[in-house]
Amino acid sequence: MVVFLFFVVVVVWLVVAGGAAGRKLKRQLSLETNGVRGRALVLSSSFLTTGTTLNGVRYEQRTMTLDIDLPGRAPYVTSGQFLVPRGLVEPVPGASLDVAVDPSNPSSLSILGPGGFSGPWIRVGVPAPY
pLDDT tens-digit map of 62-74: 999 999 999 889 9
The dihedral of CA 83, 89, 90, 94: what is its sign? negative
Q: Is residue 127 part of a domain?
A: no
Residue 3: predicted pLDDT: 59
Backbone φ, ψ for residue 94 (5° rounding): 100, -15
Q: Is residue 67 part of a domain?
A: yes
Q: Is residue 117 part of a domain?
A: yes
Helix ranges (H only) for the chain are: 2-34
**Pairwise CA distance, residues 49 & 41, whole Å:** 19
Domain count, the chain: 1
Domain ranges, residue 97? 2-122
Q: Is residue 99 part of a domain?
A: yes
Q: What is the pTM of this model?
A: 0.68
Q: Is residue 24 part of a domain?
A: yes
Q: Is residue 76 part of a domain?
A: yes
Task: Specify whether the CB–CB gap between 69 and 40 falls below 8 A.
Answer: yes
Q: Is residue 93 part of a domain?
A: yes
* CA dist list (Å): 41 to 29, 47, 68, 92, 99: 22, 17, 7, 9, 10
Q: Is residue 14 part of a domain?
A: yes
Residue 121: predicted pLDDT: 43
